[in-house]
Amino acid sequence: MSAAPLVGYNSSSSEDEAESPAGDQVRPGAGASLRGQTLLPSERLPVPDSVLSMFPDSEEGPEDNSARHGGRVRTFPHERGNWATHVYMPYEAGEDFLDLLDMLLPHAQTHVPRLVRTEEFHLSLSQSVVLRHHWIVPFVQSLKDRVASCQRTFVGLEVTSGHAQFLNLISEVDRVMEEFDLTTFYQEPSFHVSLAWCVGDARVQLEGQCLQELQEIVDEFEDSELLLRVHAEQIRCKSGNKFFSLPLK
């Protein structure tokens, strides 16, 4: 089915992590330090956890714990005030789509057993970048202003129609990235919905016979061409643990 080709690709980092820090980096704030039994006047006592938990919107980003993300590790160290940010279009998977995925994933796992099913489906509209906490609100507002006039479109696993509309949307997102001196999207983007992932580069095992067999499963699935389309009404921006929805025209 030409409308929904399957692709295997490699990424050096997960999409909820930045590939490299952007802008000037600020050292994490120094905590209290005791020398002997004397607290130096210029040093601060640590704030109790019970107090810190009262302020979830402070500029301190969420704690990094690779065990919570299937072993994925940040490509940059966590730094106070840095928020990994990603712009994307959500894909709401229906029951039929999940049935198809239940057929595809076990077959793919015979070639790459460590493949893990994607929990939330989306199409990326930006690379993952680093935002300072005080940039989040103006960044999202600028995004909202840019994409408000963009038309909706239909997409499949890999977009083969509506490509021009997606490039137009990417152009608007890139202009916002440039405003904040952040990394823009890829020069020749391929728009797709990720179905599964694994740690490490497994392209050799997936390319060739495996992808061909998976494509045959898609082709033979009833009404797959209609199933793998979605009416996009919004894009989203995720910054740290904050989510913003931006409606399309």
DSSP H/E element including 126? none
78 is annotated as an active-site residue: no
Length of the chain equals 249
- 86, 111, 122, 133: the active-site residue: 122
Closest CA to 197 of 24, 8, 57: 8
Q: Which residues of 40-65 are buried (b: 16+ CB within 10 A; e: fewer)?
A: eeeeeeeeeeeeeeeeeeeebbeeee
- Cβ neighbours for 70, distance < 8 A, ≥ 6 positions apart: 116, 197, 199
The residue from 86, 111, 133, 192 that is catalytic is: 192
Cα-to-chain-centroid distance, residue 29: 28
d(CA 245, CA 88): 10
Active site residue 192: yes
Backbone angles phi, psi at 44, to 5 degrees: -105, 145
Residue 180 Cα distances to 3, 74, 143, angstroms: 36, 22, 11
Active site residues: 122, 192
